[in-house]
Amino acid sequence: MPRQWRHGALVVIALFVVASLAAGCANAESTPQTQRPHSAAKSSSSSAAPRVSSPAPPKQISDFPDGIYRTQLKAEDLQRYGIYDPTNAGIWTLTVENGGYRLDCRAISDLTVDCGNSHPNGLATVEMGDVRGASPTVWFLFDSAQVAEVNGCTRYSQASNGCGPEGGYHVKWTTAPDGVVFSHWVGFGQWATLPGLNNWTAQPWTRIS
């Protein structure tokens, strides 16, 4: 092959290589790069809070003192305490006797909202069940079957005539000059997602009997 031909062929080959490299770089810049997804297990273990299982309710009958206790919450009281659920309003009466409890409520102003928004007659038994545990903690084990016998509510129903969620809660309690103070309300079962600031913990309960 003549020298000038060889020189021309080399120039063509060089230009072809440069053009190929330029095209490859252009494709790399125009095509978005995909990242490998994070492992779901790794992501959940590093970012999600660990699940805390609630201990089983104790079998020991509570040493919470028998008696009748009462607290009253109006709509303006709820606002002052930072309670955003208006159904906490009402005159709440707690009766504890022989290892059992009963919670009654009387509406103050709004029969469609007070006392849990499910008692149009203005007065109802809201809860019944057992009290368990040793002080300073008392467990209230809700028994919807007992409540259904008293006020005719429907168990396992989300309707307005339902008996309420299954489960219960436990609270810390201390004596006060005129009654008791509840704190650290923790629900379990279907009560687990309810806020700890409520009609139980907003203010002291007065012992009336």
pTM: 0.73
Query: Domain residues for 86?
Result: 67-207
| Domain membership flag for residue 112 | yes
Distances (CA, A) of 192 to 19, 52, 91, 132, 158: 67, 11, 24, 18, 16
Cα 185 to Cα 103: distance, rounded to the nearest angstrom: 16
**CA-closest candidate to residue 104, choices 134, 44, 112, 116:** 116
| Domain membership flag for residue 164 | yes
Cα 17 to Cα 97: distance, rounded to the nearest angstrom: 94
| Domain membership flag for residue 19 | no
| Domain membership flag for residue 123 | yes
| Domain membership flag for residue 55 | no
| Domain membership flag for residue 31 | no
Taking the CA atoms of the chain, what radius of gyration do you get in angstroms?
A: 34
Mean pLDDT in order along the chain per 10 residues (209 residues): 40 41 44 32 31 75 98 96 94 97 93 76 87 97 95 85 90 97 96 92 97
Cα 195 to Cα 193: distance, rounded to the nearest angstrom: 7
pLDDT value of residue 37 = 31
| Domain membership flag for residue 146 | yes
| Domain membership flag for residue 30 | no
pLDDT value of residue 53 = 53
pLDDT value of residue 201 = 97
Do the strands 123-132 and 167-176 form a parallel or antiparallel pair, or are they unpaired? unpaired
Count of the separate structural domains present in the chain: 1
pLDDT value of residue 121 = 67
pLDDT value of residue 160 = 73
pLDDT value of residue 118 = 58
